Amino acid sequence: MLELPEVEVLRKDLEKEVVGKRIKDVTVQTAGIVRPLHRNRPEFVKALEGRKVEAVRRRGRLLFLDLDEDQTWIIDAGDEGSLHRETANATPGPGTHLAVTFTIGGALHLSEAGEDVSAHTGVVPTDEALEAAGVSPDALDPLDDNPTWMEFGRFLHASRRPLKLVLTDPDLILGIGPVYSDEILWEAGLRHDRAGDSLSTQEVRRLYRAMQEIIHTAMKVRGSSLDEVEADSAVDDEGEVAEHLRVYGRDGQPCIRCRKPIKRTRIKKGVYTYHCEQCMI
């Protein structure tokens, strides 16, 4: 999953590279990615071809490319998808569901590995874009909304759920997924199963600071490599974990803070967390 840091880096790149360009060709390989926003592929292609990109926005891990005539192109890379900037004549790789080229050069390829496709895209009126994309109006975007630690604390205390589930729930917090939720909790020294309303003032401030630091560090180190990484970009083809990650994917390895082995724990079906039993409380 592309999480908030990668998508924000990509948004900034697209803002520089595609704003002002007009869309030339649209090729949809997988019909399912345009539903439910469109009835079929031709309807989506007609809505997108020939449009000029006027702005690029982000909310959580979703991208919104505002087009002329008050239309917006929504891109959700899905649970295991990726969005690649390519040359106009680049051959789409395996698992590519959508290829869009521009009149002045360059292209965007939306891909997702595996048989289960969760990526989706569509063109809707700009004033309906957030609702059409399913973005909760009450959810917090850690970058866009820039809350104070006190606001963040009130937000946490309103939930009695475990911190891991709070951080990764898109109805509560936007853009944080399995990778950076573990990194944030490790940096803050807080267990994944602590309830949001159990934190002291000091712990709230520690978690808030960890969230800001982890997101900005990830943006800094991923900016130059975003186009080269795979969909599961936290782990490379040889199984090596990205250097800037301190806990995610490192089960069995010594914690760099206390040297005790990192554990991988199942929270519920399909949801796991990497943590240290020794130094996370």
CATH code assigned to 149-275 = 1.10.8.50
Higher pLDDT, 17 or 80: 17
* Helix, strand or coil, per DSSP, at residue 141: coil
- 65-95 pLDDT, tens per residue? 999 999 999 999 998 889 989 999 999 988 9
CA distance 120 to 72: 14
Torsion of CA 264, 267, 268, 271, to 10 degrees: -60
Encode pLDDT of 127-146 as tens digits: 999 999 999 999 999 999 99
Between 3.20.190.10, 3.40.50.261, 3.40.50.920, 3.30.70.1150, what CATH number should domain 4-132 receive? 3.20.190.10
- Label residue 234 by pLDDT band (50, 70, 90): low
Per-residue pLDDT band for 274 (boundaries 50, 70, 90) equals very high
Please give the Cα distance from 185 to 162 (Å, whole number): 11
- Provide mean pLDDT across the span 227-250: 61
Is 124 in a helix, a strand, or coil? strand
Q: Flag whether the pTM goes above 0.95.
A: no
Where in the sequence of the chain do the CATH 3.20.190.10 domains occur? 4-132
Over residues 3-7, mean pLDDT: 94
The 8-class DSSP code of residue 238 comes to T
pLDDT of the residue at 57: 98
Q: Which stretches of 49-177 are DSSP H helices?
A: 129-132, 149-157, 163-168
User: Could you read off the pLDDT of 206-223 as tens digits, one per residue?
Assistant: 999 999 999 999 999 863
